[in-house]
Structure 1
Amino acid sequence: MQHPYLPHGLFVTFEGPEGSGKSTQIGLLEKHLCELGYEVLVTREPGGTPMGEELRRILMELRNEKVAPESELLLFGASRAQHMCNVILPHLEKGGVVLCDRFADSTTAYQGYARKLNMDFIQRMHELTLYGRWPDLTLLLDISVDESERRTQQRDGDTPVDRFASENRAFHFAVREGFLDLARHNQKRFRVISADLPVDDVAARIREEVSHVLR
């Protein structure tokens, strides 16, 4: 099948609290878009490149040293710059679709709203590391903190709890409120979808939103 060509590509990011089902929904959307003939790249942050995956290991798993919030922020920025330069932008320039599990909005929510680092600095870091290319569509899968905790506890037997999932409730409340505030201020880009709905219903809503930006 000939792949539909998108002159500037399509960049879709998935955001949300811990346990909101991003990975599941990314997989379903990838399958749907591939069936339509699009060239789809699925990636994640932090990560997406060899360097990014090393930084991910530090950011998510480092236990024997306290990571300063400022160091954490800069490591996310370093991973993102590498990711954009070597993976995301080249795929978009070829007219492909990029589906990314977390992106710059997570940095703003986690390090800005929750860690309370300087928002102006975070915005300037985004200007440097995004090369002017924000997502075309950001899908915020929203669930309550109580539901997030319940889902995180259910998956703990199979997946080690990372540094962020193990933060306290106040931190996760701040992250969720940060995402919702970002959505309120960026309504052209964000779509908020309740992740409390059945998986198939969430997937149908996502396909509908993506179809709008593909027209």
Structure 2
Amino acid sequence: MKGLFITFEGPDGAGKTTQVALLAEYLKELGFEYITTREPGGTLIGNQIRQILLEPSYHELKGQTEILLYAASRAQLVHEIILPALEKGKIVLCDRYIDASIAYQAYGLGIDRKIVEEINRFASSNLKPDRTYLLDIKPELGRKRLIERNQKNKKHLDRIEQKDILYHQRVYQGFMDLAKEEPNRIIKINADQPVLQIFEKIKSDFHFFLQSRLMKGELSL
């Protein structure tokens, strides 16, 4: 049996985590078996790596180190959690995946995209998402949301969130380029609208995509 691997992407402040939770609740109502997870993290080892990657004080962390740490967390998540769930026929909802590494590390940090892709092909055993929902929000608005949210929750911006607006603009361009390259996989949705309106678009597309895969016999859930 093969499940379904769905990822959520977008600039910081796009609202991915909220949409993952809403789709998970929808799947629960439909009676599908599913799991939700996130990157970096999602495993005991990955969560330790996440603390290093996002620690606000680690300004000396180098680009090469960042790529390898993200890939290490991803390797653990894919092989410990995602692949076993897919083999059991479950739907996997993941908050960020390889597209994020391309956007943040190749575009954001300016590291050769081929290197980023090759490292992650190895880390993931070339596992690709079946569908990706890209929440499209301009970096200026995303940053404004982040600051407001963190002030409300009395939290500080993490190491990635602290980077300047030019970095986040490059990341945004990376996501836009990926969406143009793979329009059949990456569904771009305007994230500058009410949460439930965004979810209705995701739910509508997901329902159509799920039914088409089931009818073609490409999916067994």
TM-score for both structures, normalised by structure 2: 0.92
Structure 1 segments, 4+ long, off by >4 Å, are: none
Alpha-carbon distance, 1:132 to partner = 2.4
Q: Deviations over 1:124-181 (max 9, x none)?
A: 1122112122000010001112211210110122132111111100001000110010
1:177 alignment partner in structure 2? 173
Q: What's the Cα RMSD here? A: 1.1
Deviation at 1:184, TM superposition (A): 0.3
Indicate conservation of the 8 Å contact 2:56/2:157, yes or no. Answer: no
Quick one: which amino acid aligns to residue 99 of structure 2? D
Which residue does 1:211 correspond to in 2? 207
- The yes-or-no answer on 1:188 pairing with 2:205 is no
**Residue 40 of structure 1: CA displacement?**
1.4
**Superposed CA offset, 1:99-145 (max 9, x none):** 11111100000000110111111111122112122000010001112
Structure 1 letter corresponding to 2:109:
R
Mapping for residues 10-49 of structure 1, pairs under 5 Å: 10-49=4-43
2:135–2:189 contact (8 Å) kept in structure 1: yes
Deviation at 1:212, TM superposition (A): 2.2
2:88 corresponding residue in structure 1 = 94
Q: Percent identity?
A: 40
The residue aligned with 1:63 is 57
What secondary structure sits across from 1:156 in the alignment? helix
Check whether the contact 2:78–2:124 (CA below 8 A) recurs between aligned residues: yes
SS of the equivalent of 2:134 reads: strand
Deviations 1:74-107 (A, max 9, x none): 0001111110000000001100011111111000
Equivalent residue, structure 1, for 2:157 = 161
Q: Find the residue that maps to 2:189 and give its secondary structure.
A: strand
| TM-score, scaled relative to structure 1 | 0.94
Task: In structure 2, list runs of 5 or more residues that go unmatched.
Answer: 212-221
Given the alignment of the two structures, is residue 120 of structure 1 paired with residue 114 of structure 2, yes or no? Answer: yes
